[in-house]
Chain A
Amino acid sequence: MPTAQSGFFEWVFFFIKTYGTLFLKGAGTTLLIALTGTLVGFIIGLAVGYVRAIPRDREGGAVRYWLLKLARTLLGVYIEVFRSTPMIVQSMVIFYGASSVLHINLPYLLAGFIIVSINTGAYLSEIVRGGIQSVDPGQMEAALAIGMTYGQAMLHVVLPQAIRNILPALGNEFVVNIKDTSVLNVISVTELYFVSKSAAGTYFKYFEVFFITSVIYFVMTFTVTRFLRWVEKKMDGPQNYAVHGSQTVPDVEIELNAKGGALSE
């Protein structure tokens, strides 16, 4: 163990050596909560965004109209409340609320999943709604005009395009969640920040430990960002279309640009 006279790097190496596995476990927990929270939040966002995008007409009868109105109002409240309060406060309210009001002692990790999911869901609901609105209304019209129901048109035509449009925002939310799960330390979830705080507190070496911690956070977010950008590129595919086989030379692949001119053979 380094002494009081030891330098910065000696301490850093010491912490890596003795707390390395713990840091990695903490980082793993962070990633797990961020990923689960983002995915579940995304599903919540899709459901809420879908409900809020249903057109407001009285065609389906009065009961349906008022039920939709009620659902929309409640979902609106949910979104506003969770977007207008810090996640650290939401953590306290949900965790201690569950134990004192509902008499449920949530396991820490589960509490983490729930909090991040609900919080992310609120943000993604608005993003999904924006994504749905960004899809050309002609797509919905064409789907309806050919006989799809509203639900089929949403599922097969509008949502896939909306999701593609919001993919960057979704990735961003994941990155934000990697960083923001650190607030879960207030309810003792053993994610990266919690682990770091304990290690640093034991030796009173806050700078050294949190230097390591920041490096780990940076590596995680940087990798994820790059990876997501690569996925987006991959999904878009090539701008040009290759006609497989021409009539004269069946095996040749001709690249066509959007004007139909051959680029190369």
Chain B
Amino acid sequence: MSEENAAILQVHHLSKSFGDHEVLRDVDFAVSRGEVISIIGSSGSGKSTLLRCMNLLEKPTSGEVLFHGENIRTPGFNLQTYRARVGMVFQQFNLFSNMTALENCVVCQMKVLHRSRVQAQNIAMAFLEKVGMSAYVKAKPRQLYGGQKQRVAIARALAMNPEVLLFDEPTSALDPEMVGEVLAVMKDLASSGLTMLVVTHEMGFARDVSDRVVFMDGGVILESGDPEVLFTHPTQARTRDFLARILEN
């Protein structure tokens, strides 16, 4: 099998503009099975937009996203099933506020994957257990603090049996003392072989956990590669500047 075919997701010549503002320019990259990729870059460089284009929360202006070689904008492509396979974890958690932690993890399994309630609940319980939230199954989101909400959100995404999870700054909205518990869950997932694409400002995670780091700047991928190499010997001046700035803090 060629390199191309092993990729779960491929992004080809992807561009996105909001009006005159070109946010992504001709972005190309691929996500292979089992890979953990960190996307780093300064604010406004287009990291979130790239992730959102990949599950069509934003419509790309041009270019394409291929899922196992199939263009996700082909007429008749089942977007709902695709989105279940490519989960997303948000900075603001976005747990459904009208549902308990358990119900959050159950409802989409039933509505999208047509699992029975019992089956969905068993699966949900297993993942809530995995993220250490099984004592809070009946809690409403507003009764949980940030770190707990994010762990439930991860369990909710996992319950759909995703092939890839997209994380958009999953720890950026958390108080510093809660970052650790979420990163611990993510490290655990990474080592269990889950394919992950993580936009993050946590350089420790990017360096130690990911297989590849992608540096974005001004809507393009400026460089990408092995974390150790990119962190110690960045080839681009802008990467050096960014790393110097962020590692200073």
In residues 154-172 of chain A, which contact B (Cβ within 8 Å)? 156-157, 160-161, 164
How extensive is the interface on chain A, given as a class? 20 to 34
Which residues does chain B contribute within 8 Å of A147, judged by CB atoms? 80-84, 108, 112-113, 160
Q: How far, in Å, is A146 (CB) from chain B's closest CB?
A: 5
**Among B2-10, B28-36, B140-148, the stretch in contact with A:** B140-148
Given contacts A139-B96, A139-B97, contact A146 B143 (CB under 8 A): no
Interface contact A161-B98, CB-CB below 8 Å? yes
Does A142 sit within 8 A of B, measured CB to CB? yes
Question: Which residue of the partner chain B has the closest CB to A163?
Answer: B98
Q: Do A161 and B112 touch (CB < 8 A)?
A: no
| A138 sits at the interface (CB 8 A) | yes
| A146 vs B92: C-alpha distance when bound (angstroms) | 15
Specify the chain B residue showing the minimal Cβ separation from A243.
B135
State how many angstroms separate the Cβ of B58 from the closest Cβ of chain A.
Answer: 10
> Do residues B94 and A141 form an inter-chain contact, with CB atoms below 8 A?
yes
Q: How large is the interface on B (under 10, 10 to 19, 20 to 34, 35 or more residues)?
A: 35 or more
Which of B87, B95, B113, B143 gathers the greatest number of chain A CB atoms within 10 Å? B143
From residue A69, how far is it (CB to closest CB) to chain B in Å?
A: 20
The distance in angstroms between the C-alpha atoms of A146 and B57, with both chains bound, is 11
Quick check: A146 and B90 within 8 Å, CB to CB? Answer: no
For B48-69 the 0/1 string (1 means CB < 8 A from A) is 0000000101010000000000
Q: Is B139 an interface residue (CB 8 A)?
A: yes
By a CB distance below 8 angstroms, the chain B residues around A244 are 135, 138
Across-interface contacts of B98 in A (CB, < 8 A): 157, 160-161, 164
Chain A residues with Cβ below 8 Å from B96 are 139, 142-143, 156-157
Q: Mark A145-187, 1 if CB is under 8 A from B, else 0.
A: 1111100100011001100100000000000000000000000
Interface flag for A237 (CB, 8 Å): yes
Q: Is the interface of A mostly helix, strand, loop or mixed?
A: mixed
Choice from A136, A148, A241 contacting B143 with Cβ under 8 Å: A241
From residue A124, how far is it (CB to closest CB) to chain B in Å?
Answer: 20
The complex places the Cα of A156 from the Cα of B92 at a distance, in Å, of: 20
Which residues of the other chain, A, contact B55 by a CB distance below 8 angstroms? Answer: 145
What's the least CB distance linking A265 to chain B, in Å?
15
Q: Within 8 Å CB of A241, what residues of B?
A: 136, 138-140, 143-144
For B82, B95, B97, which residue has the most chain A Cβ atoms within 10 angstroms? B97
Q: Once bound together, how far apart are the Cα atoms of A222 and B96, in whole Å?
A: 35
Distance, CA A157 to CA B94, complexed state (A)? 11
Judged by a CB distance under 8 angstroms, whether B88 is at the interface is yes
Which residues of B does A touch, CB under 8 Å? 55, 57, 59, 80-84, 87-88, 90, 92, 94-98, 107-108, 111-113, 135-136, 138-140, 142-145, 148, 153, 156-157, 160
- 20 further A-B contacts with Cβ under 8 Å, apart from A148-B112, A244-B138, A258-B145, are A136-B97, A138-B94, A141-B57, A142-B90, A144-B83, A147-B83, A147-B160, A148-B80, A148-B111, A156-B107, A156-B111, A157-B96, A157-B98, A161-B98, A239-B143, A243-B136, A244-B135, A258-B142, A259-B145, A260-B145
Interface pairs (24), CB distance under 8 Å: A59-B59, A136-B94, A138-B90, A139-B94, A142-B90, A142-B94, A144-B83, A145-B57, A145-B87, A145-B88, A146-B83, A146-B108, A146-B157, A147-B83, A147-B84, A147-B112, A147-B113, A148-B108, A148-B111, A152-B111, A157-B96, A241-B138, A243-B136, A256-B143
Using a CB–CB cutoff of 8 Å, the interface residues on chain A facing chain B are 59, 136, 138-139, 141-149, 152, 156-157, 160-161, 164, 237, 239-241, 243-244, 256, 258-260
